[in-house]
A and B are shown apart, each in its own frame.
Chain A
Amino acid sequence: MSDEVITVYKHMKDLPSSRLLGTGTPMCAGCGGLLAIHQAYDILGEKTVFVNAAGCMTLLAVYPYTPFRGSWLYTSMASAPAGAQGVRDALDIQLARGRIKADEDLQVVVLSGDGAAYGMGLSSTSGAIEHGLDFIYLCYDNEGYANTGQQSSPATPHGARTSTSTGAQGFGGHKKDLFAIWAAHRPAYVATVIATEPVDLARKIEKAKGLKGSRLIIALSPCPTGWDFDPQETVEIGRLAVKTGMWALKEYENGKVTHTRVPPKRAPVEEYLEKQGRFAHLFQPRRNQAMLAEIQARVDDYWAEVEAGNA
């Protein structure tokens, strides 16, 4: 852990008890992405304008229904950060000219799935960070193009079954390291979170809220529909992602990466994988020991680097 963390959120009981994001949205029951968003929204508040890239969450606002008590703008799949640029600049211009008052200002928050963030959105994201755009970027990562039926995306992990990787070995690619790509731009802040660790998430959102500049966050979002598990398992699976070390909780700030959770004794990755239908082929009809070992080895290597102080 880093130096003494000054935070309001030390325990679960410090988390907001009122739910700001409206109910009644058409997200799947048990949606891990919606879970992260509602937790973040409780802290970010209604003085926000969410600028959305195409993905599952685009369906949050379907005329005439919106769950936001603040504002929302849908742009396109590739250009939400550019939309954020336009909104932020226009707010600043109006503030400078006295056309809106300081208390009318809004925080600009890009909301994007992994499909946009890890792929076509990189162009506009890179541009935004390079401009030092003052915004928050929240990526809900369900590791596939979920809204169109869970085709593989650049965020899909190695070996996962998706609707475009249905063979015995699953997805042949490897999950892109978006955290490293963003951090290489040296923005104000980058973090990984998961809604199943709500205190860690709250601290990071709180920290991001208090900083200026480009602040980018990836929330691993267990997806019952896309990952093929019963919706009630969402939180348990999220916990296992952290416990097995498959999802590292970390921050980048001022050139340094710090892990906010280092699992002391990592559970074997199998415990996480076997709960999800998208990895069923690694266990049935036969155990794919080679693939499981490969996945385990990658995770082990990652944490070895962390321990050695290199990651």
Chain B
Amino acid sequence: MYRIRFHGRGGQGMKTASRILGSAFFLQGYEVQDAPRYGAERRGAPIFAYVRAARQTIQERGIILEPDLVIVADDSLVPMPAAGVLQGITARTVLLIHSGETPETWRHRLNIAGPLLTLPAEAAAGAEQRFVGTALAAAAARLVGVITHAALEQAVQLELAGLGREIVSGNLNQALAAYELMAPQAGLVSEGEARAAAACQRPDWVELPLDEADAAAAAIHAGATSVEVRTGLWRTLRPVIDYQRCNRCWWVCSEFCPDSAIRVNAEHFPEIDYDHCKGCLICVAQCPAHAISPVPESSEAQP
């Protein structure tokens, strides 16, 4: 069975990617199970999607714990434990990261023994750039080696049918490009075996202790703990203030930042909290002095 996981953020097309790959396998004659996993609808929130494909009926369900292939659409998710990108990776798992950085940099950073590839990310950014689902699905199709280009094309058309001819043809081009790019590694991803029952470790079950009601209630006995969540990791563009042009106009940017991520210092200059700024760029659009500019995140060091 092929067990494949996609990781990305809402809006990047991970659900579409899993559907395209799933359909491609299906058209190729495989039994398939594909699904996305996310919480409430949110652009920017981490999601994952998965595809299982096999010649026989698939009985497994849910989260893939031993992937043959892990695909990451947004490389800022890799260091985030909550995103679970590296969960269950073994020496035979192929890791494909959509990134502006090189495979060598990533191999070094992650200290990973298994195969690691990148799908190069463009330097420019914007809404169109964020949607990389089709390209990644196509890359995956080539890496497993058993999906023809014809099946892939048909899958793309099937899954994007409602979006109009222009969008579909644009995606077909992206798919072909990614499919070709992965040609040297065709078949690098192989089907994994199900682990024998005897080979599994016994689960470490505990008796849940009865805790006091105030600890065991779904209540947060503190204020503003949300500051620990670094929503700054959502950004692809960061707003940068040119303090030469800023005229401290009663801090419009701070007022119009929905996320309380712009504070005003003692000298009445605004300061952007990059740990939390989501990169909506309202401040860029609203600054009366045009003193704030959007700068691509990848060209700066990650915080």
Contact = CB atoms under 8 A, between A and B. Distances in A.
A35 interface: yes
A124 interface: no
- Interface of chain A: mostly helix, strand, loop or mixed: loop
B41 A148 contact: yes
A198 B286 CA distance: 13
Contacts of A70: 223
A149 to B, nearest CB: 5
A25 B280 contact: no
Given A23-B273, A148-B40, 15 more contacts: A15-B255, A18-B263, A20-B260, A21-B260, A23-B231, A24-B230, A25-B259, A46-B223, A64-B225, A68-B223, A148-B41, A198-B256, A224-B43, A224-B280, A230-B281
A234 B258 contact: yes
Interface string A34-70: 1100110000001000000000100111011111111
A236 interface: yes
A257 B123 CA distance: 53
30 contacts: A13-B250, A15-B255, A17-B268, A18-B263, A19-B254, A22-B225, A22-B227, A22-B260, A23-B227, A24-B228, A24-B229, A24-B230, A27-B258, A30-B258, A30-B278, A30-B281, A31-B258, A59-B42, A63-B218, A64-B220, A64-B225, A66-B224, A66-B226, A146-B41, A147-B41, A149-B41, A198-B256, A230-B127, A231-B280, A235-B285
Given A63-B218, A66-B224, A234-B280, A29 B252 contact: no
B35 to A, nearest CB: 17
Contact of B260 (A38, A231, A234): A38
Contacts of B113: none
Nearest to A147: B40
Interface in B2-58: 39-45
Contacts of A198: 255-256
A12 B260 CA distance: 16
A26 interface: yes
B280 A65 contact: no
A35 B40 contact: no
A231 B282 contact: yes
B98 interface: no
B263 to A, nearest CB: 6
B40 A23 contact: no
Contact of B43 (A34, A63, A225): A225
- Interface of chain B: mostly helix, strand, loop or mixed: loop
Contact of A65 (B225, B285, B286): B225
B238 to A, nearest CB: 12
Contact of A232 (B226, B230, B282): B282
Contacts of B106: none
A32 interface: yes
Contacts of A146: 41
B30 to A, nearest CB: 30
Interface string A154-190: 0000000000000000000000000000000000000
Interface string A74-91: 000000000000000000
Contacts of B268: 17
A11 interface: yes
A300 interface: no
A147 B224 CA distance: 22
Interface in B204-253: 218, 220, 222-231, 234, 249-252
A25 B252 contact: no
Contacts of B133: none
B284 interface: yes
A30 B282 contact: yes
A34 B250 contact: no
B252 A12 contact: yes
Nearest to A31: B258
A274 interface: no
A23 B233 CA distance: 13
Contacts of B40: 26, 56, 59, 147-148
4 A-B pairs with least C-beta separation: A22-B224, A30-B280, A19-B260, A29-B280
B258 A38 contact: yes
A233 interface: yes
Contacts of B278: 29-30
